């Protein structure tokens, strides 16, 4: 599933291609995404100019004068801008024809993504309003993490992946950040002190910043808006490395399941 770095990479790739462009027409080839594509989209969007492209958690927000298009990539979704005459690919479900002869296409083989419209403030949308802080925001800090974790028995990795704790951190980057912070992912969140949470905040930001700079992580399906894969995979220290030696101490990386997700860690470096 695309995580925050992949979505941010997509946002940055789309900005120079979409900002200031007017949507001339909309073609919906398949409405059956995670939530049905609104029937009125083909009537609402034409004539709207894309004023800004923002990101909230793993959602892309394409702001126009009349409202905002909310896009979620789901597990396999991606956006690309191509000449309008280019033939459709399998699983191209939605097209936004632009005024410069290009089209923005939403492709999603598993159809867990979404494209929705709101005329209201998008941050107040039901999908967004209950989300926790962004990982680079001041509200994501050790004191808040420690306070939120107090008395919690849930293990720290699912706690970190909870979007009410902090947004945008999925399985890959949670494993990597916990390794850098030296925290065992099996440890209950409520048994971690503020000082260790401070290290975790620093690790989360470092891992995400490096992944964004590298263009995201390619495991199976992610490609950025130009169709190029992310390259952070070569920098992964524990994720998907079960049975391989730890890059720090040489101990074999362990694999367990937490919250029904594969979890990789070094039993020596992470306590």
Residues belonging to the active site:
2-3, 58, 261
Q: Which pairs from 161-165 meet CB under 8 Å and 24+ separation?
A: 161/259, 161/261, 162/132, 163/57, 163/131, 163/132, 164/130, 164/131, 164/132, 165/132
Angle of helix 142-149 versus helix 194-214 axis, rounded to 10 = 120
Contact assessment for residue 62 and residue 18, using Cβ atoms and an 8 Å cutoff: yes
Strand partners, 81: 104
Measured in whole angstroms, the distance separating CA 111 from the mean position of its chain's CA atoms is 16
Compute the Cα dihedral for 124, 129, 132, 135 and give only its sign. Answer: negative
Structure tokens that stand for 84 in this block: 């309008």
In angstroms, rounded to a whole number, what is the distance separating the alpha carbons of residues 77 and 222?
8
């Amino acid at each position: 599933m695309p995580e925050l770095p992949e979505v941010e990479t997509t946002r940055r790739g789309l900005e120079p291609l979409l900002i200031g462009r007017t949507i001339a027409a909309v073609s919906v080839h398949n409405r059956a995404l995670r939530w049905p594509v609104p029937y009125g989209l083909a009537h609402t969007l034409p004539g709207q100019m894309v004023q800004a492209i923002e990101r909230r958690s793993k959602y892309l927000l394409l702001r126009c004068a009349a409202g905002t298009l909310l896009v979620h990539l789901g597990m396999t979704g991606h956006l690309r801008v191509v000449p309008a005459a280019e033939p459709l690919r399998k699983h191209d479900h939605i097209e936004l024809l632009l005024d410069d002869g290009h089209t923005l296409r939403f492709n999603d083989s598993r159809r867990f993504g979404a494209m929705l419209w709101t005329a209201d403030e998008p941050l107040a949308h039901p999908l967004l309003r209950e989300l926790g802080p962004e990982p680079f925001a001041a509200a994501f800090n050790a004191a808040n993490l420690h306070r939120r974790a107090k008395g919690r028995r849930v293990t720290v990795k699912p706690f970190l992946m909870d979007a009410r704790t902090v947004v945008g951190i999925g399985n890959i980057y949670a494993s990597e950040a916990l390794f850098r912070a030296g925290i065992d992912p099996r440890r209950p969140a409520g048994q971690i002190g503020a000082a260790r949470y401070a290290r975790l905040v620093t690790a989360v930001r470092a891992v995400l910043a490096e992944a964004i700079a590298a263009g995201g992580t390619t495991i199976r399906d992610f490609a950025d808006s130009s169709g190029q894969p992310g390259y952070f995979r070569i920098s992964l220290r524990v994720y998907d490395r079960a049975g391989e030696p730890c890059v720090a101490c040489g101990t074999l990386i362990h694999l367990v399941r937490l919250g029904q997700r594969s979890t990789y860690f070094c039993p020596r470096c992470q306590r």
